[in-house]
Structure 1
Amino acid sequence: MVQPKYHVFICTSCRINGQQKGFCHSKNSIGIVERFMEEIEDRGLSGDVVINNTGCFGICDKGPIVVVYPEGAWYGNVSEEDVERIVEEHFENGTPVSELLI
């Protein structure tokens, strides 16, 4: 069993019936998930970082939301442009990106 160093949850506004609609979805959270997956793969971090999409975290006004465990770091208003920085600073260097934390 793989024991990742980081477990990342990204709100994609996924509903129980499988539909994706809502604030984070409307702000391109699917693209954010894809960008994280690309960065993780490109940097050879697949064994260290697991990415999961989630339903609503309930703080839509701060979305798209990305939550990273084990630290419990909550990032808000994340864009595709922020992904590279999160991967480099947080996952590779161990320092959460303070400007994005909520």
Structure 2
Amino acid sequence: MENPVPITPSETIVDSCQRLGLGRIQRHLFLCCDQTKPKCCSKEDSLATWDYLKKRLPELGLDCTQSSRDGNIFRTKANCLRVCQQGPILLVYPEGIWYRNVTPTVMEKILQEHILQNRPVEEYRFFTHPLSHL
């Protein structure tokens, strides 16, 4: 997993959690990206979307490592989300919304509509299974 800020040898796990802003996360985005064996899309296409997401979250003030506000987004590069069709695939938690064909253009639409306005992007959503509280 990519680490945006290097961990120092004296840093504790609590320090790491605070630095990452884990307590302020409201959504977690998993992007099928940088696959070992690309099946749903090319590795280059998935990395283009990942790079776009990495750039846009800080620009929108949503990157949990760079913002002290609540409502931040945590992003994770998933090698494969096992759908293996119409990728890149994006999974947004806690809503459990799965998106297909997530190019940089589609990612921008998802960020603007789903993430900022709480309106899922129906034309790219193909499945929903929200996480329930135990």
1:74 is aligned, of 91, 94, 98, to 98
Which runs of no fewer than 5 residues in structure 1 stay unpaired? Answer: 15-19
Per the alignment, do residues 81 and 55 of structure 1 end up closer, same or farther by CA in structure 2, a change over 3 Å counting? same
Aligned to 1:40: 57
Give the structure with the higher percent helix.
1
1:100 is matched by which residue type in structure 2?
Y
Distance in 2 between residues matched to 1:61 and 1:13, nearest whole Å: 15
Summarize deviations over 1:48-85 as a string: whole Å, max 9, x none: 00111112222212211000000000001111111111
Q: TM-score, normalised by structure 2?
A: 0.66
Q: Tell me whether 1:90 sits opposite 2:114 in the alignment.
A: yes
Q: TM-score, normalised by structure 1?
A: 0.85
Distance in 1 between residues matched to 2:79 and 2:114, nearest whole Å: 23
Q: Which has the higher contact order (CA 8 A, sep 6+)?
A: 1
How many pairs were matched up?
97
Runs of 4 or more, structure 1, over 6 Å off, are none
Is 1:8–1:50's contact at 8 Å kept on the other side of the alignment?
Answer: yes
Aligned to 2:42: 26
| Aligned alpha-carbon RMSD (Å) | 1.6
Aligned to 1:8: 29
Which runs of no fewer than 5 residues in structure 2 stay unpaired? Answer: 1-17, 65-71, 127-134
2:84 is matched by which residue type in structure 1?
C
Distance in 2 between residues matched to 1:101 and 1:83, nearest whole Å: 12
Distance in 1 between residues matched to 2:113 and 2:41, nearest whole Å: 25
Greater CA radius of gyration, 1 or 2?
A: 2
